[in-house]
C-alpha cells in the first residue's frame, strides 16, 4: 500500500473523507493473484451459442479451470449464479451480427450481477471482420466494454481484446494472464490488439525477464523506481538511469534491485551511446528500454514560451527518439537485441488534452504516435514498441496537489481512486514479457478508466 493510500485508510484520512461525503474506495486485488471465484467461459457466435475456441485454449494454457455461463434467457425470472464469480471470459471472436450481441447481453447480465470485488469481465473479439454489419458490431463491443467498465463496482474491471485471425492461443497467454491477474488492477474499460506471433504454447512464466538487461530512465523515484522494482522481481537486470542531482536516490534504487546506476541527463546528444557503452562493458545487450523519465512545465498556452515548450518536448519525446535511433542500430555494441522491447510512457493528459499542458500533451501524444510508427519497422527483428498511458497515479508529484482538488482528480475514474506506481510498472512488465510478442504499436492506459477525455 502506498503512503497516500495508507493516509486515506488512516483514522484522520477517513474522518476528513467522511466529512467531505466521500466513500472509502475499494481495495484492489494486485500482483500475480488470480480471481478467487470461478472463471466462467462463454463462447458466443451468431445467435446460436457456439463460437470461437481461442479463449478456451488460452485458459487451458493458463491452467485455469472454467465453468459454463448462466444465460439470461427467461424474461420472467432473471437467471443468476449461486455464488459470486471471479471472472467472465467471453470468446466473441465469431460474433458478426446484431443477434450475436444479444447473446453477449444474455451472458453479461447475470455475470455483472455476480462478479466478485476486483473480478474481471473480458471479451475477446476479432480485430478485422468483413462486411458492414460485422464491422459495426465489432465496434459496438467497444461501446459495451467502456460502459460495463463504468457500471462495474468494487474494483471489478472490463477489458476488450481484439485478436487477429492469425493469433494462436499461445499468443494470447501473456495478455489474458495479465488481464485476469491483479497485475492489471488499474487497467479498466480499455481495448487493445493482440496479433499473431507464433508464441509457443507455454504457460505463464513467474519470472519472464530472468537474466534480461532492461534500461529504465527516470528510475530514481516515483513510477520509475516502481518499474525498476517490479521488473527486478520478474528477474530483470536493471540499468537505472537518472540525472546526476538524483544520484543518491538512484544509487539506492539500483542497489535495492541488484542493478547498476547510470547518472545521465537523457537530453545529452550522446545519451544513447553512453547507455550502450555502459551495457557493452558488462558484455551484455539491451533486452528492453523503458523511457520513463519525464517532466512537466505547465502553463496555459497563452503563457507558454519557447523554453517551456522546448524543454518538455525534448525530455519527453526528442531524447527518446535520439536514444532509440542509436540503441536500435544493429551496429551499436550494447544496443537492443533481436526480440527486444521498447516501452514509452504517454499520459491520459496527452491523449485527451489537458488545460495548461499543451507542451506536455504534445510530447505524450507524440509518444503514442512514435510507438505506432516504430512497431511495423521493428517487426522483422521481433522487437515490439508500445506505450502505457497513466492517469492519476499516487506519486510525490500528485501528493503536492491540495487535498480537495486531489480527491476530485483521483476519484474521476471508474475505480474511484488514484493508481499506484506499481500498477503502471506491472503493465510495463506485461508488455516486456517475451510472450507479449504479438502486442506492438499499442497504447495501454493505466488510468482506472479516467472519466476525462476520449
Ligand X SMILES: NC(=O)c1ccc[n+]([C@@H]2O[C@H](COP(=O)([O-])OP(=O)(O)OC[C@H]3O[C@@H](n4cnc5c(N)ncnc54)[C@H](O)[C@@H]3O)[C@@H](O)[C@H]2O)c1
Rounded to whole angstroms, the Cα distance separating 82 from 84 reads 7
User: Out of 354, 382, 398, 412, which residue is the one contacting ligand X (CB under 6 A)?
Assistant: 398
SS3 66: strand
Chain centre to alpha carbon of residue 375: 17
Query: Of the listed pieces 36-44, 107-115, 188-196, 393-401, which binds ligand X according to CB under 6 A?
Result: 393-401
Rounded to whole angstroms, the Cα distance separating 176 from 114 reads 21
Rounded to whole angstroms, the Cα distance separating 212 from 235 reads 7
* CA dist 294 → 290, 317, 321, 366 (Å): 12, 9, 14, 13
Query: Among candidates 334, 228, 208, which has minimal Cα distance to 290?
Result: 228
Residue with cell 485458459: 59
Catalytic, out of 81, 162, 287, 360:
360
Which helix (H) or strand (E) segment holds residue 444: the answer is: strand 443-446
88 and 115 in contact (C-beta within 8 Å)?
yes
Rounded to whole angstroms, the Cα distance separating 318 from 94 reads 43
Q: Is 301 in the site for ligand X (CB under 6 A)?
A: no
User: Out of 42, 95, 342, 393, which residue is the one contacting ligand X (CB under 6 A)?
Assistant: 393
210 vs 268, which CB is nearer to ligand X?
268
User: Out of 199, 292, 320, 449, which residue is the one contacting ligand X (CB under 6 A)?
Assistant: 292
CB of 398 to ligand X, least distance (A): 5
CB of 345 to ligand X, least distance (A): 4
Q: Is 366 in the site for ligand X (CB under 6 A)?
A: no
Residues listed for the chain: 454
Q: Is 273 in the site for ligand X (CB under 6 A)?
A: no
70 vs 374, which CB is nearer to ligand X?
374
Count, residues near ligand X per rule CB under 6 A: 27
69 vs 222, which CB is nearer to ligand X?
222
User: Out of 3, 20, 300, 397, which residue is the one contacting ligand X (CB under 6 A)?
Assistant: 397
Q: Is 184 in the site for ligand X (CB under 6 A)?
A: no
Query: Among candidates 418, 415, 413, which has minimal Cα distance to 399?
Result: 418
Phi, psi (5° rounding) for residue 425?
-60, -40
Q: Is 266 in the site for ligand X (CB under 6 A)?
A: yes
193 vs 445, which CB is nearer to ligand X?
445
Pairing of β 85-91 and β 260-263: unpaired
Q: Is 294 in the site for ligand X (CB under 6 A)?
A: yes
Q: Is 144 in the site for ligand X (CB under 6 A)?
A: no
Q: What sign does the dihedral 238-205-334-295 (CA atoms) show?
A: negative
Q: Is 354 in the site for ligand X (CB under 6 A)?
A: no
Residues 6 or more apart in contact with residue 374 via CB below 8 angstroms: 324, 342, 385, 441
CB of 260 to ligand X, least distance (A): 15
85 and 123 in contact (C-beta within 8 Å)?
no
Residue 182: all three cell numbers together: 491483479
Q: Is 293 in the site for ligand X (CB under 6 A)?
A: yes
CB of 268 to ligand X, least distance (A): 8
Among this protein's residues, is 360 annotated catalytic? yes
Q: Is 423 in the site for ligand X (CB under 6 A)?
A: no
Stretch 199-258 residues interacting with ligand X (CB under 6 A): 217-218, 220-224, 242-243, 246
41 vs 393, which CB is nearer to ligand X?
393
Q: Is 334 in the site for ligand X (CB under 6 A)?
A: no
Q: Is 311 in the site for ligand X (CB under 6 A)?
A: no
CB of 134 to ligand X, least distance (A): 36
Query: Among candidates 422, 443, 414, which has minimal Cα distance to 188?
Result: 414
User: Out of 347, 414, 436, 437, which residue is the one contacting ligand X (CB under 6 A)?
Assistant: 347
User: Out of 144, 315, 352, 431, which residue is the one contacting ligand X (CB under 6 A)?
Assistant: 315
CB of 29 to ligand X, least distance (A): 21
Q: Is 417 in the site for ligand X (CB under 6 A)?
A: no
54 vs 428, which CB is nearer to ligand X?
428
* CA dist 76 → 73, 86, 113, 225 (Å): 9, 26, 17, 55
CB of 304 to ligand X, least distance (A): 17
38 vs 442, which CB is nearer to ligand X?
442
47: exposed, middle or buried (Cβ count in 10 Å: 0-12, 13-18, 19+):
middle
* CA dist 60 → 57, 195, 417, 441 (Å): 5, 19, 34, 28
Q: Is 392 in the site for ligand X (CB under 6 A)?
A: yes
Rounded to whole angstroms, the Cα distance separating 233 from 178 reads 16
CB of 366 to ligand X, least distance (A): 12
Residue 106: all three cell numbers together: 444474455
CB of 267 to ligand X, least distance (A): 5
Catalytic residue set: 360
Contact positions vs ligand X (CB under 6 A)? 217-218, 220-224, 242-243, 246, 265-267, 292-295, 315, 345, 347, 390, 392-393, 395-398
Amino acid at each position: 500500500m502506498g503512503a497516500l493510500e495508507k493516509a486515506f485508510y488512516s483514522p484522520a484520512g477517513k474522518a476528513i473523507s467522511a466529512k467531505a461525503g466521500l466513500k472509502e474506495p475499494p481495495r484492489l486485488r494486485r500482483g500475480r493473484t488470480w480471481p478467487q471465484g470461478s472463471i466462467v467461459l462463454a463462447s458466443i457466435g451468431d445467435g446460436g451459442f457456439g463460437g470461437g475456441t481461442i479463449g478456451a485454449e488460452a485458459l487451458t494454457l493458463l491452467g485455469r479451470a472454467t465453468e459454463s455461463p448462466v444465460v439470461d434467457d427467461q424474461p420472467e425470472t432473471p437467471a443468476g449464479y449461486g455464488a459470486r464469480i471471479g471472472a467472465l471470459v467471453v470468446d466473441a471472436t465469431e460474433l458478426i451480427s446484431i443477434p450475436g450481441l444479444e447473446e453477449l447481453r444474455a451472458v453479461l447480465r447475470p455475470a455483472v450481477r455476480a462478479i466478485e470485488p476486483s473480478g474481471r469481465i473480458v471479451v475477446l473479439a476479432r480485430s478485422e471482420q468483413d462486411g458492414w454489419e460485422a464491422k459495426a458490431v465489432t465496434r459496438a463491443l467497444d461501446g459495451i466494454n467502456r460502459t460495463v467498465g463504468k457500471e462495474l463496482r468494487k474494483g471489478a474491471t472490463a477489458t476488450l481484446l481484439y485478436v487477429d485471425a492469425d493469433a494462436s492461443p499461445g499468443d494470447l497467454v501473456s495478455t489474458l494472464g495479465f488481464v485476469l491477474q491483479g497485475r492489471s488492477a488499474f487497467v479498466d474499460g480499455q481495448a487493445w490488439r493482440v496479433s499473431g506471433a507464433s508464441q509457443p504454447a507455454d504457460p505463464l512464466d513467474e519470472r519472464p525477464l530472468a537474466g534480461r538487461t532492461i534500461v529504465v530512465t527516470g528510475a530514481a523515484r516515483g513510477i520509475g523506481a516502481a518499474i525498476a522494482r517490479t521488473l527486478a522481481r520478474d528477474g530483470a537486470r536493471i540499468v537505472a538511469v537518472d540525472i546526476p542531482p538524483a544520484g543518491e536516490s538512484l544509487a539506492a534504487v539500483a542497489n535495492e534491485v541488484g542493478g547498476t546506476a547510470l547518472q545521465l541527463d537523457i537530453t545529452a546528444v550522446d545519451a544513447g551511446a553512453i547507455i550502450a557503452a555502459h551495457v557493452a562493458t558488462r558484455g551484455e545487450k539491451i533486452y528492453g528500454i523503458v523511457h520513463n523519465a519525464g517532466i512537466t512545465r505547465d502553463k496555459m498556452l497563452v503563457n507558454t514560451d519557447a523554453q517551456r515548450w522546448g524543454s518538455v518536448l525534448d525530455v519527453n519525446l526528442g531524447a527518446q527518439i535520439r536514444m532509440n535511433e542509436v540503441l536500435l542500430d544493429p551496429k551499436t555494441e550494447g544496443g537492443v537485441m533481436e526480440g527486444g522491447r521498447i516501452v514509452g510512457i504517454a499520459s491520459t493528459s496527452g491523449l485527451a488534452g489537458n488545460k495548461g499542458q499543451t507542451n506536455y500533451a504534445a510530447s505524450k501524444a507524440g509518444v503514442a504516435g512514435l510507438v505506432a510508427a516504430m512497431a511495423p519497422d521493428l517487426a522483422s527483428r521481433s522487437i515490439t514498441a508500445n506505450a502505457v498511458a497513466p492517469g492519476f497515479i499516487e506519486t510525490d508529484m500528485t501528493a503536492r496537489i491540495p487535498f480537495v482538488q486531489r480527491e476530485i482528480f483521483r476519484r474521476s475514474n471508474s475505480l474511484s481512486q488514484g493508481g499506484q506506481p506499481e500498477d503502471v510498472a506491472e503493465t510495463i512488465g506485461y508488455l516486456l514479457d517475451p510472450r507479449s510478442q504479438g502486442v506492438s504499436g499499442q497504447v495501454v492506459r493505466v488510468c482506472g478508466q479516467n472519466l476525462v477525455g476520449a
